[in-house]
Amino acid sequence: MSRRPATLRRRVALAYTLLGLVLSLLFAGATVFIAEDYEHIIVDEILRGQAEDYGLRLAADPFTPLPQTHRLSGYLRHPDGSGNVPAEFAELPPGIHESDGDASEGIHIGVFDTDQGRMFFVIDLRDIERMERDLAWFLAAVIVLGTAIAGWLGWIFAGRTLVPVRKLAQAVDALPTRPQASDLAEAVSDDELGKLASAIDRYQNRLVQADASERSLYADASHELRTPIAVVRASAEVLLDDPTASDYARQRLHRLDRGMRELGDLLDVLLDLARRRELVMEELDAAGLLEETVSSLAPADGGVRQPIEIDATGTLRASQRESLLLLRGVIRRVLPPEMPGTLALRYADSVFRIVFSADGEPGRQSAGSPVATERSDRGLGLTLIARLAAQLGWEIDDRRANDRPREVSIRVPA
């Protein structure tokens, strides 16, 4: 399983943390270097100054005593080799030296050759060395705290810096599913974020152009597909008007006409879904909508229309054209061909209820007529109608079962 990359905010905070660590280390290193260098400069100046001063004094008075204090001690080895010089310093060459070992750390020795002999000046800076160790602990704390504070500030600054990115993401999320031109670049700065917003705007514009091309294609296809449907329906109507047609032929023609009407409605639904036509919402009377729906339905096979009961009160806000297509499609699925019964249409509390109650056994058919088969999945085949319902915001509940009437409930937004 691949590891997900860290978030942008975490990466910015990590960069701030590393920057704080590097700056803290540089500060600590510079402080230690300056302190050590300053100590060497001070020691060199003090010891050389003492050597020059006592060299002049000894030239004037050979018996001038050298300093012997807790901080500074002086020794003189005469040219003949005499003199009380400690053994650990006697062999040191001229120059500034620092003693080794933990016990003598901080002791600096200056060895200088003069006309009166070789002078040794020893200065004790062990208390300063202890202060330097305290300084080292302080610098270690500075490194830790500086790194932690840099990371914390990086997290806060990254959060504030990414506010425009989050706003851009929210603006992109708010874009509708259908193609629509956007101007996201106008609301952001002219930098990398602005380039990203401009890229999204250009992509949206390409989607709009592609959608316009598809709409034009679907409009042309709609006209081309309606022509053969109209021809078939006109031919069926002409044949139905023929008085010499047999009853069996009329049943076939009624079924053909019903199928072509249904095909025309499904074509309208398919093209509306494909073209994503803007819905025109209006206040509709529920009873009037149901009456208009059943009036546009073709009679059942054989030309006999089932009894229809309409019980509807109230209004609903919806697009009339799409509502008629949806209700006609559902009712056609609920009505079984060649089965006598009653169709009940009700509307109350923002719910349509479409129920078909059969008068007799569903398997009883007229002689010579084709057998009406049931779908093996016991569904109503409402794929396109369900898509249209989702576009309207309606919910279809198919309660069809073998032991009760066909019933479909359609809930509309209140």
pLDDT in tens, the chain (414 residues): 567 788 888 888 999 999 999 999 999 999 999 988 888 899 999 999 999 999 999 888 888 899 999 889 999 998 888 888 888 888 899 999 988 766 667 889 999 998 888 999 999 988 888 888 888 999 999 999 999 999 999 999 988 888 888 888 888 898 887 788 888 888 888 888 889 999 999 999 998 888 888 778 777 777 787 788 888 878 888 887 888 888 888 888 878 887 888 788 777 777 777 766 677 888 999 999 999 888 877 555 444 556 888 999 889 998 888 888 889 888 888 877 666 778 889 999 889 998 888 775 444 343 333 333 344 333 556 778 888 888 888 998 876 544 455 788 999 987
- The β-bridge relationship of strands 308-312 and 107-114 is unpaired
- What pLDDT score was predicted for residue 149? 94
Q: What whole-number distance in Å separates Cα of residue 229 and Cα of residue 257?
A: 10
What's the structural domain count of the chain? Answer: 2
Tell me the pLDDT tens digit for each residue of 175-219. Answer: 887 788 888 888 888 888 889 999 999 999 998 888 888 778 777
Residue 23: the pLDDT is: 94
Indicate whether 155 and 285 sit together in one domain.
no
Cβ atoms within 10 Å, residue 402: 7
Residues 6+ apart with CB under 8 A from 74: 50, 54, 66, 67, 68, 119, 120, 121, 122
- Which of 138, 161, 184 is where one domain is finished? 161
- The residue out of 130, 161, 192 marking a domain boundary is 161
CA–CA distance, 379 with 401 (Å, rounded to integer): 9
In a domain, 290, yes or no: yes
Q: Are 44 and 109 in contact (CB under 8 A)?
A: no
Which domain covers residue 155, as residue numbers?
8-161
Q: Are residues 283 and 154 in the same domain?
A: no
Residue whose C-alpha is closest to residue 120's, from 179, 172, 54: 54
Q: What is the dihedral of CA 300, 305, 309, 313, to 10 degrees?
A: 70
Residue where a domain terminates, one of 109, 135, 161: 161
Pair 15, 145 in one domain: yes
Residue 245 belongs to some domain of the structure: no
Whether residue 334 contacts residue 343, with contact meaning beta carbons closer than 8 Å, is answered with yes
Question: Which CATH number covers residue 409?
Answer: 3.30.565.10
Cα R_g (the chain), whole angstroms: 50
250 lies in a domain? no
In this prediction, residue 202 carries a pLDDT of 92
- The answer to the question of residue 340 being in a domain is yes
Pairing of strands 341-348, 351-358: antiparallel
Task: Clarify whether residues 155 and 298 are in a common domain.
Answer: no
Assigned domain for 262 exists: no
Q: What is the pLDDT of residue 110?
A: 93
- Residues 52-89: b if buried by 16+ CB within 10 A, e if exposed: eebbeebeeeeeeebeeeeeebbbbbeeeeeeebeeeb
Please enumerate in sequence order all residues whose Cβ is within 8 A of that of 320, keeping only pairs 6 or more positions apart, or say none: 280, 282, 284, 289
No. of helices (H) and no. of strands (E), the chain: 9, 11
Residue 264 lies in a domain: no
